[in-house]
């Protein structure tokens, strides 16, 4: 087999490897994993926020209840003191203080009711988000499995092409392989292409009749496109 025929086989395998590696880096299944993971992260963060708000609301209710308890004890103490007071001015001051405490207790009770209503709403949100999170965990697991299966299939295909390339390269002169790799690097991954009629398979430019005739007069391993400098395999 002529060296250009051998290099054409290697070029085809290298093109396959580029295609496979591109697919590995742009798996639709990987995009789906990223989408689902983003949803999962969002719902997880929202659920954590709800849990924090529930904890804060519960603490607020507990603080208010403690405050109401303290106020009631103060009120009871002042009420007991009021029963022993004779002086009208002192009694009036105690009554005023008791009324202030009762207003404070009422405000705290009202605040607790607001927080308890909020807790009810938050618990509904927590239940809904928990169900959503469980579903997203299942979707994430399925998406990751699909991504891994697709990647594994492409990896097996890449390993097979890599093996075939090594076999094809083993019979080619190392000097030609070095020249091929250098030209491939300098020519966007394509070192050698076929001449299809009068069109270069590398740059896809039509050659003139005189250029084609000049190519045919060249020895097999010296033919290259006058436009892109890629080697050309001429039938």
Q: What is the model's pLDDT at position 220?
A: 81
What pairing do the DSSP bridges indicate for beta strands 192-196 and 199-200? Answer: antiparallel
Q: What is the pLDDT of residue 86?
A: 83
The whole-number pLDDT of residue 219 equals: 87
CA distances from 95 to 28, 72, 79 (A): 76, 14, 8
- Give CA separation, 169 vs 86, 132, 162, 214, in Å: 115, 54, 10, 29
Structure tokens at 181: 């790799």
Q: What is the mean pLDDT of residues 185-197?
A: 95
Which of 12-16, 83-87, 221-225 bottoms out in mean pLDDT, i.e. has the lowest? 83-87
Q: State whether residue 106 is helix, strand or coil.
A: helix
- The token pair that represents 190 in the structure block: 């394509």
Phi, psi for residue 194 in degrees, rounded to 5: -90, 150
Question: Which neighbouring-strand residues pair with 36?
Answer: none
Q: H helices of 26-87, where?
A: 28-82
Mean pLDDT over 35-50 rounds to 98
- For 118-149, how does the pLDDT look when each residue is reduced to its tens digit (9 = 90+)? 999 999 999 999 999 999 999 999 999 999 99
Place of tokens 């469980």: 134
- Positive/negative CA dihedral, 48, 50, 52, 54: negative
The pLDDT value given to residue 168: 97
Q: How far apart are CA 204 and CA 16, in angstroms?
A: 19
What lies within 8 Å, CB to CB, of 229 at 6+ separation is 183, 187
Cα separation, 94 vs 89, whole angstroms: 9
**Mean pLDDT, rounded, for 211-223:** 91
SS3 state of residue 86? coil
């Amino acid at each position: 087999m002529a060296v250009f025929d051998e290099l054409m086989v290697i070029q085809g395998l290298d093109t396959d490897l580029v295609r496979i590696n591109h697919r590995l880096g742009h798996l639709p299944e990987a995009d789906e994993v990223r989408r689902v993971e983003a949803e999962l992260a969002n719902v997880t963060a929202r659920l954590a926020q709800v849990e924090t708000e529930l904890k804060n609301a519960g603490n607020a209710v507990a603080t208010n209840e403690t405050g109401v308890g303290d106020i009631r004890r103060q009120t009871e103490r002042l009420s007991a003191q009021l029963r022993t007071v004779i002086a009208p001015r002192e009694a009036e001051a105690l009554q005023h203080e008791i009324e202030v405490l009762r207003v404070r207790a009422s405000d705290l009770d009202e605040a607790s009711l607001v927080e308890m209503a909020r807790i009810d709403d938050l618990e509904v949100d927590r239940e809904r988000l928990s169900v959503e999170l469980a579903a997203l965990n299942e979707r994430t697991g399925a998406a990751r499995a699909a991504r891994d299966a697709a990647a594994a299939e492409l990896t097996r295909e890449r390993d097979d092409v890599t093996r075939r390339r090594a076999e094809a390269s083993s019979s080619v002169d190392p000097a030609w392989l070095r020249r091929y790799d250098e030209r491939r690097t300098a020519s966007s991954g394509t070192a050698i292409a076929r001449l299809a009629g009068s069109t270069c398979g590398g740059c896809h430019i039509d050659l003139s009749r005189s250029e084609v005739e000049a190519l045919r007069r060249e020895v097999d391993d010296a033919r290259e496109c006058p436009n892109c400098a890629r080697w050309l395999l001429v039938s």
